[in-house]
Amino acid sequence: MLTNDQLSQWDRENFFHPSTHLAQHARGESPSRIVTGGDGVFIEDRDGNRLLDGFAGLYCVNVGYGRTEIQDAIAAQARELAYYHAYVGHGTEASITLSKMVLDRAPSNMSKVYFGLGGSDANETNIKLVWYYNNILGRPEKKKIISRWRGYHGSGLMTGSLTGLAGFHKKFDLPLSQVKHTTAPDYFRRDDLNQTEAQFVAHCVSELEALIEREGADTIAAFIGEPVLGTGGLVPPPAGYWEAIQKVLKRHDILMIADEVVTGFGRLGTMFGSDHYGIEADIITIAKGLTSAYAPLSGSIISDKVWKVLEQGTDENGPIGHGWTYSAHPIGAAAGVANLNLIDSMDLVDNAGKMGAYFNKAMADAVGGHAHVGDVRGEGLLCAVEFVEDKSDRTFYDSSKKIGPQLAAALLKRNVIARAMPQGDIIGFAPPLCLSKTEADSIVLSM
């Protein structure tokens, strides 16, 4: 067996890690960890640590680690048929079954599902389909996409543009010109501290209206948003936000893409975030919770309204010019089928709702009164604690003094993984949906 020193040398010399300070890592200055195993909400590393993973990897291992049902399904699929493509009508029992299982769980206006590999490529697919849709409808000018500042939709060319976090744009010449950003629905960070929640929602709506007015509704194809802002700070929307935003979109014939990569398959205590907030999407993005990350798989769930136009398009133009070699990969699909069955048999959607309410309350009770805790918020099994320098006027620490990263490092020493969110001064939790009360308590106690 290779020694830890050998592995970390090879790591520094050869491995280009995503979202990493490359120079510090190459110099061996930043933390690294070699993960070896996991069970339930815990992972283990080569140094013998057993850590409670309060972020389920990257909020994706929803059923928890080490589930033999999914491991066995993957192994059986690999033995039977590891790969065949899905082009021109090909499929496997797993991919066809999974498409039915996804549609059975999706909102009733949904019609078909296209399978990709990860959340970024699913959103790339969505934007291409929206453009195709408007071309078929004879509206070639209607192409711009509205996203929110602090939204996260991936890190490809288009999806990195949709993402509204400066760190994903800087030095990459993003965002592309077809993407326009509007206000993040983050009441805690409102500019005007005197605004009520209802006034803040009205402000978000008027900012959206003003953007549409400026650009022209006939140039705007779609609006994309996560039901709950995820990587941008784990921020549930203020009451009435989605209802008010959707009224504007409908009035201007702008499609709604609900990016449910994080919220899909139970995280908020409902099967989809769209169910939770009454979002009537035209397209829904899914990934992470679709397979609980046991294999890479994502999807674009397409509504009946959009699907009819896609069919019309192929009657007029021939087969749709879109697809990946690994679309609907049989191993990913087999993992997806076993994962969705497990979510049902373990009653994880219900557990996420109940345990989420318990965990969020316990966290608020434990730290909400602290002088530097400005906000404790969450929905289902998403929970964020946001820090301030001064509560009375909601001033924030400058970046060198942020509490979030320091606290995440301290929790790690207590064998709990939390995520210092990439923007703001926020520590975030998104544990596996199988979290128990004892495990929830031990996260809270570690704070």
- The residues that touch ligand PLP, with contacts defined as CB under 6 A, are 58, 118-120, 123, 152-154, 226, 230-231, 259, 261-262, 287
In the sheet that 298-303 helps form, which strands lie side by side, from edge to edge?
110-116, 298-303, 283-286, 255-259, 220-225, 144-148, 179-182
> Between residues 261 and 333, which has the closer beta carbon with respect to ligand PLP?
261
Residue 345: how many other CB atoms lie within 10 Å: 9
For the chain, report the end-to-end CA distance as a whole number of angstroms: 37
Q: Count how many residues are written for the chain.
A: 447
CA distance 275 to 269: 10
> In this structure, is the dihedral angle defined by the CA atoms of residues 336, 341, 346 and 347, taken in order, positive or negative?
positive
> Between residues 164 and 238, which has the closer beta carbon with respect to ligand PLP?
164
> Between residues 336 and 374, which has the closer beta carbon with respect to ligand PLP?
336
CB of 289 to ligand PLP, least distance (A): 11
> Between residues 382 and 388, which has the closer beta carbon with respect to ligand PLP?
382
CB of 155 to ligand PLP, least distance (A): 7
> Between residues 151 and 238, which has the closer beta carbon with respect to ligand PLP?
151
CB of 212 to ligand PLP, least distance (A): 23
> Between residues 226 and 282, which has the closer beta carbon with respect to ligand PLP?
226
CB of 98 to ligand PLP, least distance (A): 17
CB of 88 to ligand PLP, least distance (A): 26
> Between residues 373 and 379, which has the closer beta carbon with respect to ligand PLP?
379
Residue number with the shortest CB distance to ligand PLP?
A: 119
Any residues with CB less than 8 A from the CB of 31 and at least 6 apart, and which? none
> In this structure, is the dihedral angle defined by the CA atoms of residues 168, 170, 174 and 177, taken in order, positive or negative?
positive
DSSP assignments along 5-37, one per residue: HHHHHHHHHH---TTS-HHHHHTT-S----EEE
CB of 193 to ligand PLP, least distance (A): 29
Residue type for position 397: Y
Name the pairing type of β-strands 42-45 and 50-53: antiparallel
CB of 210 to ligand PLP, least distance (A): 25
CB of 422 to ligand PLP, least distance (A): 11
Residue whose C-alpha is closest to residue 246's, from 208, 218, 276: 208
Structure tokens at 186: 């983050």
CB of 263 to ligand PLP, least distance (A): 8
Per the rule left: phi > 0, alpha: psi between -120 and 50, beta: everything else, 188 is: alpha
> Between residues 55 and 133, which has the closer beta carbon with respect to ligand PLP?
55
> Between residues 107 and 151, which has the closer beta carbon with respect to ligand PLP?
151
CB of 229 to ligand PLP, least distance (A): 9
Q: Give the relative orientation of helices 330-345 and 348-367 as an angle to the nearest 10 degrees.
A: 70
> Between residues 224 and 403, which has the closer beta carbon with respect to ligand PLP?
224
Is residue 45 classed as helix, strand or coil in its secondary structure? strand
Helix, strand counts (H, E) of the chain:
15, 15
Structure tokens at 327: 């679309």
CB of 288 to ligand PLP, least distance (A): 7
> Between residues 322 and 414, which has the closer beta carbon with respect to ligand PLP?
322
Q: What are phi and psi of 74, to 5 degrees?
A: -65, -45
> Between residues 183 and 298, which has the closer beta carbon with respect to ligand PLP?
298
CA distance 248 to 227: 17
CB of 186 to ligand PLP, least distance (A): 16
**Can you give the three-state secondary structure of 278-314, one letter per residue?**
CCCCCEEEECHHHCCCCCCCEEEEEEHHHHHHHHHHH
Per the rule left: phi > 0, alpha: psi between -120 and 50, beta: everything else, 22 is: alpha
